[in-house]
Amino acid sequence: MSTGNFIKDIINEDIRTGRWYGRVATRFPPEPNGFLHIGHAKSICLNFGIAEQYSGICNLRFDDTNPVKEEQKYIDSIKEDVSWLGFDWKDREYYASDYFGRMYECAVKLIKKGKAYVDDLSQEKIKEFRGTFTEPGKKSPFRDRGTEENLELFEKMKNGEFKDGEKVLRAKIEMTSPNLNMRDPVMYRILHTAHPRTGNEWCIYPMYDFAHCLEDSIEEITHSICTLEFEDHRPLYDWFLEELGLHHPQQIEFARLNISYNVLSKRKLGLLVSEKKVEGWDDPRMPTISGLRRRGYTAASIRDFASRIGVAKANSTVDTALLEHCIREELNKTADRVFAVLDPLKIIITNYPEDKSEYFEVENNPEDSASGTRELKFGREIYIEREDFMEAPPKKFFRLAPGRESRLKSAYYIKCNEVVKDSSGSIKELRCTYDPESRGGDTPDRRKVSGTLHWICAPGAVNITVRQYDRLFTRENPDEAEDFRLCINPDSLAVNKECMAESSLKDIEPGKRVQFFRHGYYIADIKDSKKGKPVFNRIVSLKDTWAKIVKKEGS
């Protein structure tokens, strides 16, 4: 399925010309300041996928250069997510912080070359001196300090002799460059903050532009794949490695993923978590890898999605329907069908003996002959789905109604004779008769019936909790809203605790995925589901033609 893309074109050309002696080395370099989302999954699949395809390697590298924002718990979650997605970085688990010593040496080298200097300007002044898009920047008065003084000052920065923000180390490039990134970018800032891994060893930390190219270089990466917003930084990436005369990977930028009705930025997802709009990073509504996992998406379906969306340089927004298609396609083949009635309506089969019960054999998955069958108990009192009955059905309603006959899947045909209502007029139960001739779900005369319904035998039915998830946002592009939080879908979660299901679900293993017949695919929640007290998450609904008809006629 995987199509060619412009990055593979570049790699193929490099292999043809022997640029890297046939070697391919990529890396996935997350900053551990949040949980990974499906946009990262795209990058993970790309980087690890390329390494796999070209018999190369892909490193997992934590870009931990800003201790103010980074935490060990994020490192742990990232490792879990990448691994769950099905990728193995072997022993190549690297950290930018492991290179701090070497980076420091590189900075000293640049100072000695006259290519870096310690600046005393305040943050505000640096900003002011940088100029704007249309005006060139101005040189800092500290720009021409002597090498010895710079060396001494930089060492003092390292030794903690200055306060946060008092001084920075800057690259000496060109204050009039049309590319603002080249106007003497900051290389090091002072941060008296403990680092999750290096503790208090350092109080100066390298900035992304200086650090990242060195990380890639040290690891002898060949193709450094990143997102479009770093395009303007490439000249800097190249400048540092050129000035330092180091191994020089090629930076290649591609468009980050956007999915309709979603936000895909760590900052915004973090706000949903910190403001308790969702229950956590792994809330099943979140497009995080942990959220999708908990929702019930499989790693294979996410990898399939990543291969289908392709890789390009043009900004784009992928339709949520494609992700849903990927998981439906997989689960249709692999998930066992079970009966669950989400909104029960009781039926008394008046001509069925009160003391009788029997069992019917039902196939587990018509798409998988190896999945076998199971026995389902049947009796005089059953539940069907409330929406499978209508007192005054419209033309296209093909289910049970007064005087109409429907098939109970794999059991009998039943005919509705009487509608019993309570004092408020709402339907309490149905009185039906069954046709003994239809045993197993078919009659000798092969007569047509009005639909096939799933059902649950009332005695023995188990109560289950079902969480019906819907899209988290009501707007196709929440990023375009004044505030993305204002278009959160108030109905993104509906919990139904009154559902009834066949007895086999009582002790379902948490994490197991099934199809609720005629409803959709569900997973026994890995955190909240307990044997004997199952809780299900709706992964994705079945495609629902009837719902579409209703919607069309209604509008």
Partner RNA sequence: UGCCGGGUCGUCUAAUGGUAGGACGACGGCCUCUGGAGCCGUUUGUGAGGGUUCGAAUCCUUCCCCGGCAGCCA
Residues annotated as part of the active site: 31, 256, 266
The nearer residue to RNA, 28 or 87, going by C-beta atoms, is 28
What is the smallest separation between the CB atom of 280 and RNA, expressed in angstroms? 22
Kindly tell me which residue out of 152, 200, 228, 460 binds RNA, with binding defined by CB under 7 A: 228
Kindly tell me which residue out of 102, 396, 447, 531 binds RNA, with binding defined by CB under 7 A: 396
The secondary structure of 421-454 as a DSSP string is E-TTS-EEEEEEEEEGGGTTT--TT----S-EE-
**How many chain residues bind RNA (CB under 7 A)?**
93
Strand 381-385, strand 456-457: pairing: antiparallel
The single-letter DSSP state of residue 88 is -
Where in 505-534 is the site for RNA (CB under 7 A)?
515, 517-518
What is the smallest separation between the CB atom of 93 and RNA, expressed in angstroms? 16
- Spatial contact of 74 and 93, defined as CB atoms under 8 Å apart: no
> C-alpha distances in angstroms, 12 versus 9, 24, 44, 53, 459?
5, 10, 20, 11, 65
Give the range of 101-109, 165-173, 464-472, 503-511 binding RNA by CB under 7 A: 165-173
- Spatial contact of 284 and 291, defined as CB atoms under 8 Å apart: yes
First-to-last alpha carbon distance for the chain, in angstroms, is 39
Q: In this structure, what token pair is assigned to residue 477?
A: 């592009």
Is residue 66 involved in binding RNA (CB under 7 A)?
yes
Is residue 555 involved in binding RNA (CB under 7 A)?
no
Kindly tell me which residue out of 197, 399, 415, 538 binds RNA, with binding defined by CB under 7 A: 399
- Spatial contact of 289 and 84, defined as CB atoms under 8 Å apart: yes
> C-alpha angle with apex 157: 155 to 160, nearest 5 degrees?
110
Give the whole-angstrom CA distance, residue 206 versus residue 188: 4
Query: Using CB under 7 A as the criterion, what x/- string covers residues 334-373 for binding RNA?
Result: ---x---------------------------xxx------
Where in 100-159 is the site for RNA (CB under 7 A)?
121-123, 126-127, 130, 132-134
Where in 407-466 is the site for RNA (CB under 7 A)?
407, 409-410, 440-442, 451-452
Name the nearest CA neighbour of 501 among 377, 412, 397: 377
Kindly tell me which residue out of 22, 146, 160, 178 binds RNA, with binding defined by CB under 7 A: 178
Kindly tell me which residue out of 58, 207, 263, 508 binds RNA, with binding defined by CB under 7 A: 207
> C-alpha distances in angstroms, 297 versus 28, 85, 325, 514?
22, 11, 11, 12
The nearer residue to RNA, 20 or 237, going by C-beta atoms, is 237
Give the range of 18-26, 148-156, 201-209, 242-250 binding RNA by CB under 7 A: 201-209
Give the whole-angstrom CA distance, residue 146 versus residue 117: 9
Neighbours of 219 (CB within 10 A): 20
Is residue 263 involved in binding RNA (CB under 7 A)?
no
Sign of the alpha-carbon dihedral angle for 194, 200, 204, 207 = negative
Kindly tell me which residue out of 88, 148, 231, 437 binds RNA, with binding defined by CB under 7 A: 231
Give the range of 44-52, 99-107, 163-171, 488-496 binding RNA by CB under 7 A: 163-171
Is residue 328 involved in binding RNA (CB under 7 A)?
yes
The nearer residue to RNA, 283 or 364, going by C-beta atoms, is 364
What is the smallest separation between the CB atom of 274 and RNA, expressed in angstroms? 16
Strand 513-516, strand 336-338: pairing: parallel
What is the smallest separation between the CB atom of 147 and RNA, expressed in angstroms? 21
Kindly tell me which residue out of 4, 141, 459, 460 binds RNA, with binding defined by CB under 7 A: 4
What is the smallest separation between the CB atom of 228 and RNA, expressed in angstroms? 6
